[in-house]
Structure 1
Amino acid sequence: MRYAAAFGMKFSARGVDVTFESCTYNQLTFKKENNLVFDVDIPCIGTAGRFKYNLKTGSSSGDDELYGLAQLAKQYLEKTNATLSKNWSTYRRKILIFPLSWYTDWAGFAGMAMVGCAPRHDCYTWINPGVADDKPDMPVVFQELGHNIGLAHSSRVVCDNRGNCARDEYGDPVDPMGATWPNDPQKHVVCTNAAQSYKAGWSSPTQGGHLSLTKDLTPGVPRVFTLPAMALNKANMLRIITDRKNPSVNNATTELQQRALFVSYRVHEYNETANGIPANLDTPPIVLAMLTDNKPPPEIRTWGVLNGSFTQLLPDLGGVSIQLKSKTPQAATVSVCWFLSIVESSGDQSMCSDGLDNDCDGLVDAEDPDCKAILQPPPKKPSRPPNSPPPQQQQIF
């Protein structure tokens, strides 16, 4: 039986190399001279180092099989290429490809990888293709290598018609770290969302697009931004810090986690992160909304009808509203507005004449129905009827 052990890998002319070059804006490349691929003959059942493996049925945890494959790769190089064997620890990626379910379906995964890789430590990815497959599944490979880099899955919160909500770990349908699969991975490239791309250090906010909600925005005053399509420019997003405890914009890498909203424009055809820290699997990036200005708005399966705006309430900070103003194939214009009140006026008449959009709904002062009851003049009191003339005295004759 054979398996392939690869240190980096060039699967095809439009495979993992093109995908990573496109999604990283040519910052991460898979050079041919570094893509070493080996076919190794191995027994289906045996011992490799301290691992007793059974590639027919698996073991209780599967660890012996997974790490046994890695040990067999080491042993192969020790026998065939002393130079490569000596440099084993310098290879940043070890991709182990084997149809683990060739005999019985014991593995239960298409791919698995370590999340975040320390320098000079083994960093493994396991790909489990079908027996009849002639090449690995490109989105699976990309996702697992994304884990190596330090990325978590791209998730979202899904609610049913009863209002019950739960996090779908793979819920982003337009991100390979979620659950998107292009129809033809050899011809089409699908890249990560803004939060993941920022985390990986591949892309960054636009000029002036790295914002602290409480320091860079004025309540009730929307700011307008133009965002290039993510495919066209690596400086392509807004990062809006909504963290009350850590509100400052810090362009340097930092170990402090920070709550933030990412806004980007994606035109769809359908541990080397920026701070060197692997993703927290308990708090993965969550896609909150997809916006459109199409008329009529499209209805997306599991999403419903798309909106043109998104509002998020923030503990102790009011909330933020993001509205899509317009779009072309090259760029989108959005407005961002911070509000402290969920209505234009909370009973204070001055809020209906302050020139601010206090609830960030796009209607200012008297334009907002919230102010009609406050600004409407009181009804006029009915005029007092004239006094009746005094009764005339009757004369008796």
Structure 2
Amino acid sequence: MNEVVATEDIVRASARGLRNKLDKAIPGSSASSSSGSDGRRRLLADGVDEVYTEAPNALRAVVYLVDFCGWKNPFRSPQEFRKYLFANETGALEANLQSYYGTCSYGKATWDPANVVVVGPIQLECQGRMAGGTGIPFNAATSCSLSEEMYWTRAAEQQGQQLAVRDPKLKEILQFTKRRRSMVILPSDAKCGFSGHGDQACQDICSTVVMARNGVPNIYSMFHELQHNYGLGHAGRAANPYGDGSDPMGTHASINSGLQCHNAPQNWRMGWAGPIPGGHLTAANFTPAANRLTLTIPAASTSDQNMVILRLGLQSPQPGAPAIAYPNYFISYRVRNATFGGYDSGLPAAFHRKVTIHAYNGTTDDRDGNTTSLQDAGPRFTRPDSAFPAGDGWMAPFSPLDPATGLGGGLRVRVVSTSATSAVVELCRMYAQTEGVRGSADCRTNLDRDCDGLIGAADPDCK
């Protein structure tokens, strides 16, 4: 597929509203936020699967610096912008995109200077109608809607094709039409109330539009939007689709300071990280007489085997095993890295040396529409389990055991200890919400079916 046709695909897809955005308004901005995203996953057509299997995913990208409406891009040469993209440039930021991909993916994805080129500044029209049969009007002097974004991407790609005639490296990169990234850096004066937008799970040209607010692009926003291109949705908490501060697909206050890598289910989904040995658990790993496990989880910065996955709604990992609707929980441990440019060197203090618990009922398919949800982080959980007065325990909502399969129940998690490199956690599957009632057979079993640490008749429920 040639590039003109590929950019037409962007126009058609975007016209259907298939675009995701980081829709946090910029404080003090008089521009209105463009329409489009409500935090839900927006899918484009099927294409190349970028989930890691055996070989690193070498990302290809063209970054366009653009001028329009008399507004100048703050970066007047490609060289000025490269410090945001690559680690070995003069004045390179700690949180550059090359480090984000190479470090946060454990080397499973690369943003290499050999595969990324910066073009511009190039001059675009201020208003008009898009050519190529679409006729969609745009007016960047007053608006920053999907129409303007489609025009910027399409026009930049067309100029890129023209410049490639005398630029062999640009020509080579433009030949990649499957999941090639096309990032447009806007002037600071553009009438946009967002930090960035990015196509999600795209097939051909994956477009991203980023503001250079006050002359400084937000690396966090750039990575966030590029990860929409990778197929990731937002990282939420409760009703807030951006509420997970442990993940760059959620809310992050700092700009361009250190690397904040992904939460456990996002990493698992992309194939960047997986469970510890023996750490992919189903209901088969528990019985009423042996319903408690103690596991050591390494910090995410030390290993790509760094999580426990609990699927208590699945009887066993065997294909076709009985299953019920039940949350899948991902438990991991995060430590802020003191090394410059290290994994999680930009992790917010609220998640430093914290065991995080996420729910994610999706798969490793990058067309999966499920999003991740932070449940809590401890020790000192925000919603501590009352059975543990120290506040180091967390309890999942209880689901009555399914009479046909015996699946369901509940989960209690207790943080036993934490260190600079690992955390020890105790996981207990609940078969009941109380041990029983006084005089009942349940109170004579010498079991801890409700996981409160009290056995049988010693439990106050039985007295």
How many Å separate the matches in 1 of 2:210 and 2:368? 21
Tell me which residue corresponds to 1:126.
209
Give yes or no for the alignment of 1:277 onto 2:366.
yes
Change (3 A) 1:129 1:199: same
Confirm or deny that 1:292 pairs with 2:379.
yes
Work out whether residues 155 and 171 of structure 1, in 8 Å CA contact, stay in contact via their aligned partners in 2.
Answer: yes
Other structure's SS at 2:269 match = helix
Q: Decide which of 104, 108, 112 is 2:193's aligned counterpart.
A: 108
Where in structure 2 are the equivalents of 1:8-47 lying within 5 Å?
A: 9-10=85-86, 12-14=92-94, 15-39=96-120, 40-47=122-129
CA distance in 1, matches of 2:268, 2:390: 25
Aligned residue pairs total: 334
After TM superposition, give the deviation of residue 219 of structure 1 in Å: 2.8
Structure 1 pair 142–250 and aligned structure 2 pair: CA distance change class (3 A)? farther
Aligned to 2:286: 217
Which residue does 1:197 correspond to in 2?
267
The answer for the alignment partner of 1:80 in structure 2 is 163
Residues 1:97 and 2:185 are matched in the alignment: yes
Give the residue type in structure 2 aligned to 1:117: C
Q: Say if 1:222 and 1:335, in contact at 8 Å, map to a contact too.
A: yes
Q: Which runs of 5+ in 1 are unaligned?
A: 158-166, 252-256, 374-397
In the alignment, does 2:329 pair up with 1:261? Answer: yes
Residue identity matched to 1:133: G
1:137 Cα deviation after fit: 0.4
Shift in Å, 1:366: 3.6
The CA distance in 2 between the partners of 1:344 and 1:52, in whole Å, is: 67
Are 1:290 and 1:307, in contact at CA under 8 Å, matched by a contact in 2?
no
**Equivalent-residue separation in structure 1 for 2:284 and 2:179 (angstroms):** 44
Q: 1:243-258 alignment to 2 at 5 Å? A: 243=313, 247-249=315-317
Q: Name which of 249, 264, 271 aligns with 1:177.
A: 249
Q: Deviations over 1:216-259 (max 9, x none)?
A: 1123521111000111111000110133xx544379xxxxx984
Is the 2:411–2:427 Cα contact (8 Å) retained in structure 1?
yes
What's 1:323 paired with? 414
Say if 1:143 and 1:185 are closer, same or farther in 2 by CA, change over 3 A.
same
Tell me if the contact between 2:268 and 2:364 (Cα under 8 Å) persists in the aligned partners. no
Q: Which amino acid aligns with 1:80?
A: L
Aligned-partner SS, 1:289: strand
1:63 Cα deviation after fit: 2.3
Distance of aligned partners of 1:98 and 1:279 in 2 relative to their CA distance in 1, 3 Å threshold? farther
SS in 2 for 1:225: strand
Quote how far apart the aligned CAs of 1:111 are.
Answer: 0.9
The question of whether the paired residues in 2 share the 8 Å contact of 1:291 and 1:306 is answered with: no
CA deviations on 1:170-225 (whole Å, 9 max, x unpaired) are 1112211110233x624x1111111111112111010000011x211123521111
Q: Is the 8 A contact 1:172 1:178 kept in 2?
A: yes
- CA apart distance, 1:369: 1.6
Q: Could you say what secondary structure the match of 2:296 adopts?
A: strand
Partner of 1:381: none
Counterpart CA distance in 2 for 1:209 and 1:146 is 26
Is 1:208 the counterpart of 2:278 in the alignment? yes
Aligned-partner Cα distance in 1 for 2:179–2:263: 28
- Quote the residue 1:332 is aligned against: 423
Please tell me whether the aligned partners of residues 86 and 99 of structure 2 are also in contact (alpha carbons under 8 angstroms).
no
CA contact (8 A) 1:115 1:278 kept: no
Say whether the 8 Å CA contact 1:10–1:35 is kept in structure 2. no
- Tell whether the 8 Å contact from 2:269 to 2:366 is kept in structure 1 after alignment: no
Q: 1:299 to 1:237 in 2, by over 3 A?
A: closer
What residue number does 1:378 align with?
none
Residue 341 (structure 1) shift = 1.1
CA distance in 2, matches of 1:108, 1:339: 47
Looking at CA atoms only, which structure, 1 or 2, has the larger radius of gyration?
A: 1
Structure 2: runs of 5 or more not aligned = 1-66, 320-324, 337-346, 350-361, 402-407
Aligned CA RMSD, in angstroms, stands at: 3.2
* Offset of residue 315 of structure 1: 4.7
1:53-77, Cα deviation, whole Å (9 max, x unpaired): 3221127xx2221111112122212
Q: Which amino acid aligns with 1:262?
A: F
Task: Call closer, same or farther: CA 1:91–1:170 in 2, change over 3 Å.
Answer: closer
Relative to the length of structure 1, the TM-score reads: 0.75
Any conservation in 1 of the 2:179–2:202 contact (CA below 8 Å)?
A: no
1:64 counterpart residue number: 147
Change (3 A) 1:298 1:200: same
Is the alpha carbon distance of 1:250 and 1:236 closer, same or farther for their aligned partners in structure 2, counting shifts above 3 Å?
farther
Name the aligned partner's letter for residue 73 of structure 1.
A
Cα distance between partner residues in 2 of 1:230 and 1:367? 39
Q: Is the 8 A contact 1:318 1:339 kept in 2?
A: yes
The answer as to 2:391 corresponding to 1:307 is: yes
Residues of 1 paired with 2:414 and 2:197: CA distance?
A: 38
Write out aligned runs for 1:353-372 (5 A): 353-371=444-462
Contact 2:119 2:160 in 1 (8 A): no
- Alignment identity in percent? 26
Q: Does the aligned pair in 2 maintain the 1:56–1:102 contact within 8 Å?
A: no
Code of the aligned partner of 1:181: A
Q: Does 2:301 align with 1:231?
A: yes
Note if contact 1:114-1:125 (Cα within 8 Å) is conserved in structure 2: yes
Structure 1 letter corresponding to 2:194: F
